[in-house]
Structure 1
Amino acid sequence: MRRLLVLLLVIVIAAGAAAAWWLNAPLPQRAGSAPAGQPLELEIEPGTTPRGVARAAVKAGLQTSPELLYWWFRLSGKDRGIKAGNYEIPAGTSPYALLQKLVRGEEALRAVTLVEGWTFRQVRQALARAEQLRPDTASQSEQEIMAALGRPGVAAEGRFFPDTYTYAKGSSDLAVLRRALHAMDRRLEAAWAQRDPRTPLKSAEQALILASIVEKETGRAEDRAQIAGVFSNRLRAGMLLQTDPTVIYGLGEKFDGNLRRRDLTTDTPYNTYTRAGLPPTPIAMPGKASLLAAVQPENTRALYFVARGDGSSHFSNSLDEHNRAVNKYQRGRP
């Protein structure tokens, strides 16, 4: 009897050691299931049972018994914590590490970057190029996209905050846009709450429009607040803003990279040489710095500025001074 107990104990210890070894040993990948050294792709649909997860893992390319995996999930007590999603399983993953990944919901993430100063057309192009992002909005118009986002009748331009957004493989591009939309809502609300009481702007909407112009006019970050100050002064004085980026935006796809005199005199809703005040919508996505500059402009007397050609701007208080600066920096005259 004693020998039998010892034998059983040895068997139990051996089984435990074997189980411990298996749980921490790398699971081999089935030949041809993925390029050498590349992770396996495992997709778990919502509602998949633990047994179904084990089978999906083996089908994805893990070379092991699905029943063995299933019983490991069950005996761990974490089988009900496995989350649906798209996962990448690196070569050498053990059964223990696999379960931890699935329980934590460590999905395979991708990223798309929306850049400050981009138009909505450029945003759509970036989303269309984004890796494994589902193009749900590809066939939709701008109006249809904004309606799907709960903003019917609102222009899409400038409504999305420029940042890098991560997403799980197979996510909808509409979900990325929704996050960027809400991010801009928060940033704009925070900026408007910090506005200078002397601002000529009447609403957060106007702040967003001015911030988009500042974004497009700024060649050097240090100039943002002073550029915003110039536009604020011109708004107070009832002067035309006369800013080229709005004219270019109004030309749309007709703009060939060369802004001509006739473009400045051809009236469009975005031509700030022919129409007073701000344009009807933003002209691009402003970043945080431009939002703050728009509502906290520099206290300056300047009414004009011109690019020096090195990224910086020359600011002038009078038209005579401005004309001299234009001759110097734009026409190369002394």
Structure 2
Amino acid sequence: MKKFLTFLLILILLLGGGALYGWNYYNGVGEQPLKTEEETILVTVEPNDNFSSVLNRLDNEGLLKNLLVTRIYFRYHPKETKLKPGTYTVHAQGTLHEIIEELNTGKDINEIVVTLPEGLNVERMGEVFEEKGMFTKDAFVNAVANYPTPTWLENLEGRRYAMEGFLFPSTYKFKRGQTPEYIVDYLYRAFVSQMNSIASELGTSIPTSKWNEVLTIAAMIEREAANTEEMPVISSVIYNRMAANMKLQIDATVVYALGLNAKDHVTLEDLKVNSPYNTYLNKGLPLGPIASPGAAAIKAALRPAQNTGYLYYVLNPATDSHFFTANYNEFLQKKAEYANN
């Protein structure tokens, strides 16, 4: 009897000790599920991945202490997962919940945020991508030049780039390694989407046959206007001058014809440059857009300010806004006044 009691006591102690060990092991996996001495590791989330498939991949890579115990811990200690495709840096000594949070909110190490401001031309866009380290300016320009011309875009002879103006400016999140061909296609699709969105917002239709004309006007507005508020007024000047059979005489078209940067000063000699984009020499609109306009400029091209009568404008450097007038002598007076200030 005494031997049996001793055996029973030992059994109880063993079972209790095993349970305690199991409990501690279970919590230990939850507190530190990864099996590595590294401080951080990279975890990749593939498209259509859920957290279970991420755990499977970590286990296959030998980075989990125990897949089954990790799953059980996650089941009884759930945390919302909001996984996005990408590659993320996580703290390898963190808890399961900390790792999930890093995957939920972390920054993809291969993600590159690219801001293309309104009013850039193709070559300036290429410089932005080169500065971001995605690919060279020349690679982007070549991708633009070789992009299949949309069927709605006609009369291409003499254009610098057929796709100039039709690559929508915005802030984008791209992936390292994406090709310039992919990016050009993405920017064009963004432009098409934006045109449809603007048409819906304005409650109108914008036939593709009008897109080149609208974007050509919008690009001049984008490059000439000092702010978005005066864009519809700039637009009205362009339409008023065309209605009066006057040359548009838009400095920004000369800048484009010369291939200068936006801040370069245009001289009287520059105004003589022989180019179909030079609106000082040629009546009517240039061949196509001189830059990629934003939504505000496109809307201004579609909805110019009404009944302004304005034919001239000149920048007031003191206010960084334009003075508008229908009187040529008043325009000359203000131009001299601002030049002397």
Q: 1:99 to 1:223 in 2, by over 3 A?
A: closer
Which residue of structure 2 aligns with residue 263 of structure 1? 270
1:157 Cα deviation from its structure 2 partner? 1.7
Q: Deviations over 1:266-325 (max 9, x none)?
A: 320100011121111211121121111111111111011011113111111122222222
Which residue of structure 2 aligns with residue 166 of structure 1? 173
Which residue of structure 2 aligns with residue 68 of structure 1? 65
Q: 1:42 to 1:15 in 2, by over 3 A?
A: same
Q: Does 1:315 align with 2:295?
A: no
Residue type matched to 1:318 in 2? Answer: N
Which residue of structure 1 aligns with residue 131 of structure 2? 129
Residue type matched to 1:323 in 2? Answer: L
Q: 1:21 to 1:191 in 2, by over 3 A?
A: same
After the TM superposition, which residues 1-334 of structure 1 pair with which residues of structure 2 at under 5 Å, given as runs?
4=11, 7-8=14-15, 10-25=17-32, 30=37, 40-43=41-44, 53-54=58-59, 56=61, 66=63, 68=65, 70-71=67-68, 85-90=86-91, 92-95=93-96, 97-98=98-99, 107-108=108-109, 109-130=111-132, 133=134, 138=139, 141-147=142-148, 155-192=162-199, 203-252=210-259, 257-299=264-306, 300-310=308-318, 311-330=320-339, 332=340
Structure 2 Cα separation of the partners of residues 70 and 283 of structure 1 = 58
Contact 2:26 2:69 (C-alpha < 8 Å) held by counterparts:
no
Q: Deviations over 1:30-87 (max 9, x none)?
A: 46x7xxxxx543457889996654455xxxxxxxx5362555677669xxxx987422
Residue type matched to 2:295 in 1? Answer: K
- Partner secondary structure for residue 269 of structure 1: coil
Structure 1 Cα separation of the partners of residues 282 and 244 of structure 2 = 14
RMSD over aligned Cα atoms = 4.3
1:161 Cα deviation from its structure 2 partner? 2.1
- Partner secondary structure for residue 269 of structure 2: helix
Q: 1:151 to 1:196 in 2, by over 3 A?
A: closer
Contact 1:136 1:173 (C-alpha < 8 Å) held by counterparts:
no
- Partner secondary structure for residue 293 of structure 2: coil
Q: 1:256 to 1:223 in 2, by over 3 A?
A: closer
TM-score, normalization by structure 1: 0.75
- Partner secondary structure for residue 127 of structure 1: helix
- Partner secondary structure for residue 297 of structure 2: helix
Q: 1:273 to 1:106 in 2, by over 3 A?
A: closer
TM-score, normalization by structure 2: 0.73
Q: Structure 1: which 5+ runs fail to align?
A: 34-38, 57-64
Q: Structure 2: which 5+ runs fail to align?
A: 1-6, 76-82
1:20 Cα deviation from its structure 2 partner? 2.3
Residue type matched to 2:285 in 1? Answer: L
Q: 1:114 to 1:103 in 2, by over 3 A?
A: closer
Q: 1:49 to 1:113 in 2, by over 3 A?
A: closer
Contact 2:130 2:137 (C-alpha < 8 Å) held by counterparts:
no
Moved more, 254-263 or 305-314: 254-263
Residue type matched to 1:320 in 2? Answer: N
Q: 1:67 to 1:191 in 2, by over 3 A?
A: closer
Count of matched residue positions in the alignment of Structure 1 and Structure 2:
313
Contact 1:115 1:162 (C-alpha < 8 Å) held by counterparts:
yes
- Partner secondary structure for residue 147 of structure 1: coil
Contact 1:158 1:284 (C-alpha < 8 Å) held by counterparts:
yes
Structure 2 Cα separation of the partners of residues 157 and 194 of structure 1 = 24
Q: 1:83 to 1:217 in 2, by over 3 A?
A: closer
Contact 2:35 2:63 (C-alpha < 8 Å) held by counterparts:
no
Q: Share of identical aligned residues, percent?
A: 24
Q: 1:140 to 1:205 in 2, by over 3 A?
A: closer
Structure 1 Cα separation of the partners of residues 283 and 292 of structure 2 = 22
- Partner secondary structure for residue 307 of structure 1: strand
Residue type matched to 2:122 in 1? Answer: F
Q: Deviations over 1:230-288 (max 9, x none)?
A: 11111222221100000110111599923222221232010001112111121112112
Q: 1:272 to 1:137 in 2, by over 3 A?
A: closer
